[in-house]
Structure 1
Amino acid sequence: MSKLLKLRGFVSVNEAQDYLSKAIGENVSLAEIYQLVLNRDLVISARFDAHEPALLGKYIPFTPEQHSEWLKKSQIPEEWDWVDADYIYYDEYKEQHYALKPSLTNITGCWDFTMLGSEAKVIDHNYRMQAANSLEGGLFGVELKIPREDILLTDGKQLARLQPENESKKHLIFDYFLNKLVVRKQELNRLIQALEDESPVQEQEKPLASKERNTLYKLIGALCKHADIDPLARGAATPLEKITELAGTPLSNETIRQILIKMKK
């Protein structure tokens, strides 16, 4: 699975479950993965192999009222002359407006769920299915009654709102996203780092004695030498991070870097 991470930059939800479980040393269920997404602790994405009809747009640094004034005075900045007053919306989470271009286009590749539209209903549906262990309960093909226009995505630079393919495909069904949901590698590593930073030091855990610490550093140094890596060289954390991923026991770059810094002292 770590090799797929290296090649693709993203993994399926099942692979993310396995990756997180190994990284934090405890079993993580699929329901917990979806709960993390619902709590906005983890960003989930959809990978589209085929072209998906959508409207593209972005966040705007002005309000509808300001835009209206520009129109009256014919003073709209060239950068924003594509904005249509009927396609300006408000993001309550970021407390910022965004605009969509009225012209239809197609998107492919990985797009993150913004959780501003009905994406939360999709994730909540998946969460409830996993939590109830009802995979065999006939939920596949159940219509969610969610219009495609209610799904809002982002690639980090642009926003995309899905559009109907035709009159007969205005709504999504449960298995529409079943094989499209993925998690980016950088997002998984960000979460792992956040969990490591928040982990309290157990009271009964005693710090290593000087002799034990030096022995541990010698062992790390010997393993690095065997892998032809200079642990004291700049950037040594990156190849070591990849080795931990390939071994199925991933450590974040920052965690490794802090260990190497201590070895230099």
Structure 2
Amino acid sequence: MRGGRRSSGRCRAGSAYPGEVYEERPARLAGAVVWRREPGAAADAADPGTRPVLPDGCMDLIWADGRLLVAGPDTRAYVPRSPAAQYAGVRFAPGEAAGVLGVEASAVRDERVELAELWGPRVARRLADRVSGAADRAAALEDLVLRRAADAPAPDPLLRAVVARLRAGLPVGTAADELGIGVRQLHRRSLAAFGYGPKTLARILRLQRALALVTAGVPAAEAAPRAGCVDQAHLAREMRALTGLTIGGYVAGLRSA
């Protein structure tokens, strides 16, 4: 795991407090990321909650203070009501989690679901205890995911191609035409894999492109068209619709961390 404090803003438990440790690294499962978050001395009553988790098209399997949870794909910012003290997680690439976790993405959209509800309490408890007892919980969780993935159906190559095109900024209709699939059929297949239709995924990925540029210091007026928005006002509307935040508020939150 990479050393030092690392905060990408994509931790499904919420971004780290000042002083907390958040680390991530590529997983051995293609496209996935392994991450962990641990408390720091700066977390106190003045800042009792975690920062919002913004939609990113992903799903996660999370260990949180001894419990295993599935974080579904978000269509709005998520703030935990009762944040855990320690987290470890595996974040799947868009469309890759449903087969491994055995649940359609649309069934857990905008939800944090106990793994016991999906795999049964005995299995979930045994796996949670195994991760809790490991010296490296994030690595133990990754091993669990790799074992599940070995027995799961292979990800749909067509949907992987859709994600690649949407990440590149292609319109949904163009992506569907290039791949020889009708828009309606693509929408049906997307619900199970992504949790929502391809147009929603395209909006989320576009917002993530814009936020990456803004975080890197690109002015919002320039970042908006580069990410695929019509203009800065369009980006501001999408930011409010998908996160409830403003660009300025988001950047200020990152700087304060």
TM superposition score category, shorter chain reference: under 0.3
- TM-score normalised according to structure 1 size: 0.21
* Larger radius of gyration between Structure 1 and Structure 2: 1
- TM-score normalised according to structure 2 size: 0.21
Normalized per residue, which structure has more strand? Answer: 1
Q: Which has the higher contact order (CA 8 A, sep 6+)?
A: 1
